[in-house]
Amino acid sequence: MNQAELNKEELCRFICQQLPIHRLQQMLESIEVAFQKSDSHLKETYKHVPLAGPGPQSHHFTVQEALLSLPKDEKFEASNQATKPAGGYYALIRAGTMQITTSVITMGRTPPIRDAKFRRDLSRENERLEKQHPDLFKASASPLGPSQENLHALLLPHTTKWSESDHSSPIGVTIAVPYSDPRAGFHLYMDVGQLWQYYSEAGDEVEDIAYPTLRDRMRRAENRDQIEGGNE
């Protein structure tokens, strides 16, 4: 196993340590219900206006509302964050030493699942994400990726193109951890279902992963990619 694959394994285990499985299930169930609610509202309200206009915003804000309604405890809380410039809002989930934000991504296919060694190629996915939700990439938003104090991950439910008729359920949900510069690539980009195998390790004697150690490894990986990219 090379260093990139090892980092991915440890990153998955760290996410599972910080975000209990029942909390992830709550988030996924809330997203599913939000999709159904938004899809029903859109079909009842817009008979002539193409859904490509109101659809993305409806799904986005309905998902944020659903996440903000989740019960909180000492290690899990959702707060409403305003974007700058003003006009938008998003739910910021705090789970242990993790922060999670969610954006609905419009796609015409199942989101790609790639190995860590191809993460630079996934910068194109980040460019698409930035075009749809530029607020997440502004300095006013919480830092993405491995910041000094917290790991900021993305939970990305995907919906079909708005020219399609059914948007009542995500076609897939991706868990992603961008680089500190989110335009440069991802440390992790995979279907959220792949996390279940790491949750199944909970009963085993798996050593807890300290965030500062993981953060430093991710930063070294970013530096290596930057050097290799400059030499290509």
Measured CA to CA, the distance from residue 8 to residue 188 in angstroms comes to 6
pLDDT for the residue numbered 118:
44
Residues 27-75 pLDDT 10s: 999 999 999 999 999 999 999 999 989 999 999 999 999 999 999 999 9
Residue 76 corresponds to which tokens in the numbers above?
């899990």
The helix/strand/coil state of 33 is helix
**In this structure, what token pair is assigned to residue 228?**
């290799």
Cβ-based neighbours of 13, under 8 Å, separated by 6 or more: 198, 201, 206, 209
* pLDDT at site 140: 39
Lowest mean pLDDT among 28-42, 81-95, 137-151, 198-212: 137-151
Q: What is the pLDDT of residue 203?
A: 56
Residue 41 has a CB neighbour count (10 Å cut-off) of 14
- Tell me the helix, strand and coil percentages in the chain, rounded to 5: 45, 20, 35
Beta bridge partners of 126: none
How many CA atoms does the CB half-sphere of 44 hold within 13 Å?
7
Answer yes or no: are the C-beta atoms of 38 and 170 closer than 8 Å: no
Tens of pLDDT, residue by residue over 95-118, are 998 999 999 998 854 444 444 444
* Tally of CB atoms within 10 A around 30: 21
Residue 45 φ then ψ, to 5°: -95, -40
